[in-house]
Amino acid sequence: MSALSNAEVAELRAAFPYFAHLDATPGSAAYLDSAATSQRPSVVLDAERRFLESANAAVHRGTSGAVGQATESFEGARAAVAEFVGAPAPEQIVWAENATDALNILALGIFEANAGDALGVPGSERYRLEPGDEILVTESEHHANLIPWQRLAAKTGATFRYIPVREDGTWTLDDAREALNARTRVFAFTHVSNVTGYVAPVAELVELAHAVGAVTVLDACQSVPHIPVDLGALGVDFAAFSAHKMLGPNGLGVLYGRPELLDALPPSRTGGSAITKVTMESALYMPPPMRFEPGTQPVSQAVGLGAAVGFLSQVGMDRAASREHELVERLVDGIAATPGLRLLGPADASKRVALAAVSVEGLHAHDVGQFLDEQGVLVRVGHHCAQPLHRALGIASSTRASVHLTTTEDEIDRFLDALRGAQRYFGVEVSA
């Protein structure tokens, strides 16, 4: 599959009001922060606006034609997202506030399975954690896929363990094989690291985890927007990702789960629309996904995400991934050719996706970021919600450039030139 050409990228940028404005303004900013938040094409903005202007109604509430139309749009978006990520059924897609919220829904649901009557959900005993049982993560996790599992271990008495990273911030299949054991009950790991860009071998890891009876949880925030992802084929039990990183609206995330595991998971939040029967003494709950969606939902945001996955599908994720790989190669090669820059993660660009983070010798990342901002290069600086990983690498923070299907080669070159400019500006001496 051929990569998107420069001409096609220029056409795509014209479909984004943000980039159309930049490209029409001489000397404007280079946007290299899609790993934090991606920009949105007009079709996404228009879909959400059109729904709010002409079809807004309370979904799943009432029998009017307007409610029916709104509900059809809402559930149509769920079906579109399911197809995009290889979920066999739309009911495997649960709406959340964001990916962090999605992971908390899961972790708190498992806690409910260990507390009291598990809200009467049949089969919830499969999530029971006993003293000595283990929850396993990696040292490279985003805080969103770390803290919920720390808390679950603390609340249940399970043992919290992690796979240490190596010198470059990555870990291997062999490391996971050594860490997994008969007491592992949950194994949570990221598909693509938001710091190193390292791509985990998901299918093989799932096979190892299932062999010892562990439930697998995939942080797919940095993979779903950038490479073809088929969660059903990968065999992962649960996964989470965010709309705002994949050309969609803010305020919406997705929890994916295998049907039998969602069926057995108690809800972590309760209220209207998630129930079938309520008395003054108890409540009975809906099947998934509505069991996990109490209250008024982010309806227009879901419609916007449905439009976003349609846009991505039309572009072609294979072609977009090939284009982004070329850009990441350009990033990695440019960093490697510049003395005084330390690339975090694998030096082989084929083992990373979407981004490159660097530590600039002799400079704090915030100083680097401020200089880049003055040059019109927009990046992310800090610990990227991955403090343990940075600590393991012996640094407090880093400077991250990330790409998307709209990124240009010129933007990559502006980033590399700005890094070298920062070294000159601050008088940092580097050895060749």
399 and 416 in contact (C-beta within 8 Å)? Answer: no
Output the CA torsion 412→413→416→420 (10° steps).
-160
Number of H helices, E strands in the chain: 15, 15
N- to C-terminal Cα distance for the chain? 38
Active site residue 221: no
**CA nearest 331: which of 410, 413, 398?**
413
Catalytic site residue from 45, 286, 385, 428 = 385
**Catalytic site residues?**
385
